[in-house]
Amino acid sequence: MIARRHFLQAGLAASALVGASGFGQWARLAAQQSLTQEDLIGGPGSGTVSLVHITDIHAQTQPIYFREPEINLGVGAVNGKPPHITGDAFRSAFGIEAGSARDYALTHDDFVSLAKAYGRMGGLDRIATVVKAIKGDRPEALVLDGGDTWQGSLPALRTQGADMVRLFNALGTDAMTAHWEFTLGSERVRDIVEGELDPAFLGANIFDAEWDEPAFEPMQMFERGGHQIAVIGQAFPYMPIANPGWMFPELSFGIRQERMAEVVQSARDQGAAAVVLLSHNGFDVDRKLAADIPGIDVILTGHTHDAIPEPVMVGKTALIASGSHGKFVSRVDLDLDGSGVKGIEHRLIPIFSDVIAPDPEMAALVEETRAPFAEEMSEVLGETSSLLYRRGNFNGTWDDLICNALISEREADIALSPGFRWGASLIPGQQITREDVFNVTAMSYPEAYRTEMTGEFLHTVMEDVADNLFNPDPYYQQGGDMVRVGGLGYRIDISKPQGARISEMTLLRTGAPIDPATSYVVAGWASVNEGTEGPPIWEVVESHIRRLGTVSLEPNDSVDVVTG
Amino acid sequence: MTLSRRETLTIGLGAFAATFVLPKFAFAATEDAIAEFTGGAATGQGDLTLTAPEIAENGNTVPIEIDAPGAEAVLILAAGNPNPDVATFHFGPLAGSHVASTRIRLAGTQDVVAVAKMSDGSFVEARQEVKVTIGGCGG
């Protein structure tokens, strides 16, 4: 069966969202009054060993809004399975009441009204409170960071990650793995790892490109509660493809399943009572890895930014998905004896910033790292009357704004913006500060290029990116969302093979079909190629916002999605 | 400016190589090469491990490895290259291990094929798709 639908997700006003849902959630908002820090963190845990998992914080030290995806399609065997469910399907899968705190934290519906009621989420000072509370109950809890920590904000960009390194050291992080960290350049990463970094920097799949030898430690053994706990790191497998390989030319990545099987075996041989994989593979890749490699007790997943309130079991392996942007902290309690893991309990702790008290020490440290940039970050560029968000398989309103900026500031026919999954949301009525713009653009290859591409070439690009998202074999996916387009409409059938998914490409300005042989002026940013020229994207976006004054986006119905 | 197919991989956001349709002759050449190696005998599954990346980091130099205990010779083919022949590794009776690795150039997304001639005269085949892609949107 082919279900065909248009989706309208851009620029929905708050009133429209309330009116459309029919949840009548306002009556239930009284429930917020009963949210307490103690309830969110929970009482003493079970078992003997605890893990604390934070991942994909993208340098967001401050409480933020982050709207979860409305469209998060799975293909092949994972169609309709978490995390590829949203809205109603998500709520019914996990018994979540519409309009509840968990609904706000985990789904997209009624986001604006619920955001106003429940407030921002995250904040590293609140996270520190949660970590300290868990350590109060279980002093030896292992704090594990899944990576994408040193990138995503203005201070992290300016300090080349030094602020986040300092903050995550202070959090008591025991081990981490990486993805965007390497976009600071491999030299910078090595300097940090050898000089500034407290946690073990682990990546079983990071190899020397020339000699094909391991380049970083694959694993760290921790003794906790009389047991050996092996923590294996797995960095983002497609670093040199999805990000600029020239920034870390001497390194090679990949999934390297055989290598992972060897490291798991070696952990067992060394007497590990529990094997924990701290992964930046992305959820679907980890699900396949868990099925193919026996012997991993827990995979702390990352990269794809999914927040799932319960472990997903694959055989005996528990997959934990702890969200992104500091919205959640996972606590995993392992019940261990000499024979291994007997039981696992998981809490996905939502960091409601108005409920969980800031930890004063961390708050002061965060403030210190932000102080040099505070004035620059707080400058107001304009305001928005539309919800601005990014996450979702196709367009998000932040990307619509960025694409509009590229088209108007760079005088282009068509704009391309990468399908990144990071970037905080803004709700209607908020001012847009420079910090907000950096929260969706801050990275080390920001040049806004302007070039010509033929219609045929554009089609090839879009087919290629679509296959990175919708290839039925997760090992061939890279974990980003679809490239965002401005000035261009198209139809996508995700069930088709590469080369046949994208059709009906239309130049929106004229309504004419894209001609394969005609050249179009295309503006974009975040090219992975060395030597890309252009102003940094945040300057382009800032200039556009200043000219608009108030950002108001029309609904974007330019992508016609066909699901199989 | 003249660009080779490989060089286009590093240009702009895109590459033509990612989706080009494999010419028929390449498939035929692969099948012919297998038939020549096996003398027309059927190939089966067995003790042959082909290790290759799922997605090539650089299509110009893709590391592959074969591990075939009990093989006398292993034929490697890049099924989508204009000329699919890559190498044939021979293992003598005194070979300590029947493992070989090399780097190959792939013209685009395609199957890498390994066919092993086992010491009992049977033939074993393994293949894996290696994607040659543009990337740039992993987020």
Distance (Å) from the alpha carbon of A375 to chain B's nearest alpha carbon:
29
Query: Tens of pLDDT along A351-361?
Result: 999 999 999 99
Query: Residue A281: closest CA among chain B residues belongs to which residue?
Result: B138
Report the 3 state secondary structure along B98-117.
Answer: CEEEEEECCCCCEEEEEEEE
Helix-then-strand count for chain B, H and E: 2, 8
Which pLDDT band holds residue A563 (cuts at 50, 70, 90)? Answer: confident
Which among A420, A460, A479 has CB closest to B18? A460
What is residue A34's predicted lDDT score, i.e. its pLDDT? 76
Q: Do A463 and B18 touch (CB under 8 A)?
A: yes
All residues of chain B having their beta carbon less than 8 Å from the beta carbon of residue A471 are: 131
All residues of chain A having their beta carbon less than 8 Å from the beta carbon of residue B134 are: 461, 464-465
A56 neighbors A305 (Cβ within 8 angstroms): yes
Q: Average pLDDT for residues A216-222, to the nearest whole number? A: 98
DSSP A469-508: HH-SSGGG--S--PPEEESEEEEEETTSPTTSSEEEEEET
Q: Do B137 and A418 touch (CB under 8 A)?
A: yes
Beta strands in A370-461 (DSSP E): 380-384, 414-417, 431-433, 449-454
Q: Do B14 and A238 touch (CB under 8 A)?
A: no
Q: Do A476 and B19 touch (CB under 8 A)?
A: no
Q: Pull the structure tokens for residue A371.
A: 């102080």
All residues of chain B having their beta carbon less than 8 Å from the beta carbon of residue A258 are: 51
| A232, pLDDT greater than 50 | yes
What is residue A478's predicted lDDT score, i.e. its pLDDT? 84
Query: Tens of pLDDT along A6-51?
Result: 322 222 222 222 222 333 334 344 455 578 999 999 999 999 999 9
All residues of chain B having their beta carbon less than 8 Å from the beta carbon of residue A210 are: none
Q: How far apart are CA A238 and CA A219, in angstroms?
A: 20
Query: Residue B13: closest CA among chain A residues belongs to which residue?
Result: A527
Query: Residue A484: closest CA among chain B residues belongs to which residue?
Result: B137
Counted across chains A and B, CB pairs separated by less than 8 A come out at 115
Q: Average pLDDT for residues A391-395, to the nearest whole number? A: 94
DSSP state of A398: H
All residues of chain A having their beta carbon less than 8 Å from the beta carbon of residue B133 are: 241, 464, 467-468, 478
What is residue B136's predicted lDDT score, i.e. its pLDDT? 53
Q: Average pLDDT for residues A520-545, to the nearest whole number? A: 96
A493 neighbors A564 (Cβ within 8 angstroms): yes
Query: Tens of pLDDT along A114-163?
Result: 999 999 999 999 999 999 999 999 999 999 999 999 999 999 999 999 99
What is residue A480's predicted lDDT score, i.e. its pLDDT? 87
Query: Residue B16: closest CA among chain A residues belongs to which residue?
Result: A460
Which among A451, A481, A529 has CB closest to B139? A481
Domains and CATH numbers, chain A: 3-9+377-563 (3.90.780.10), 35-64+120-368 (3.60.21.10)
More confident residue, A283 or B16: A283
Q: Do B139 and A476 touch (CB under 8 A)?
A: no
| Dihedral sign (CA A479, A206, B11, A452) | positive
Q: Do B134 and A461 touch (CB under 8 A)?
A: yes
Distance (Å) from the alpha carbon of A260 to chain B's nearest alpha carbon:
13
Select from A443, A484, A442 the least CA-distant residue to A461: A484
The pLDDT > 70 percentage for chain A reads 94
Query: Residue A501: closest CA among chain B residues belongs to which residue?
Result: B19
Q: Do A457 and B129 touch (CB under 8 A)?
A: no
Q: How far apart are CA A323 and CA A308, in angstroms?
A: 7
Helix-then-strand count for chain A, H and E: 18, 26
Q: How far apart are CA A554 and CA A12, in angstroms?
A: 8
Q: Pull the structure tokens for residue A544.
A: 């556009």
All residues of chain A having their beta carbon less than 8 Å from the beta carbon of residue B139 are: 242, 418-422, 479-481
What is residue A25's predicted lDDT score, i.e. its pLDDT? 39
The pLDDT > 90 percentage for chain A reads 90
Most A CBs within 10 Å: which of B7, B20, B55, as the mutation test of the A interface? B55
Q: How far apart are CA B38 and CA B124, in angstroms?
A: 10
| A390, pLDDT greater than 60 | yes
| A367, pLDDT greater than 70 | yes
Measure Cα distances from A383 to A373, A426, A542 in Å. 21, 10, 12
All residues of chain B having their beta carbon less than 8 Å from the beta carbon of residue A478 are: 55, 133, 135, 137-138
Query: Tens of pLDDT along A71-117?
Result: 999 999 999 999 999 999 999 999 999 999 999 999 999 999 999 99
Which among B13, B21, B54 has CB closest to A416? B13
Query: Tens of pLDDT along B100-116?
Result: 999 999 999 999 999 99
Domain ranges of chain B: 5-130
All residues of chain B having their beta carbon less than 8 Å from the beta carbon of residue A418 are: 136-137, 139
ipTM score of complex: 0.80
All residues of chain B having their beta carbon less than 8 Å from the beta carbon of residue A483 are: 137
More confident residue, A260 or B23: A260
Q: Which residues of chain B have pLDDT under 70?
A: 1-27, 135-139
- The superfamily (CATH) of domain B5-130 is SoxY domain (2.60.40.2470)
Q: Average pLDDT for residues A523-532, to the nearest whole number? A: 93
Which pLDDT band holds residue A179 (cuts at 50, 70, 90)? Answer: very high
Query: Residue A392: closest CA among chain B residues belongs to which residue?
Result: B139
Q: Do B14 and A529 touch (CB under 8 A)?
A: no
All residues of chain A having their beta carbon less than 8 Å from the beta carbon of residue B12 are: 451, 453, 457, 527, 529
Q: Do A464 and B58 touch (CB under 8 A)?
A: no
Distance (Å) from the alpha carbon of B116 to chain A's nearest alpha carbon:
20
Distance (Å) from the alpha carbon of B39 to chain A's nearest alpha carbon:
32
What is residue A479's predicted lDDT score, i.e. its pLDDT? 77
What is residue A118's predicted lDDT score, i.e. its pLDDT? 95
Task: Provide the residue count of chain B.
Answer: 139
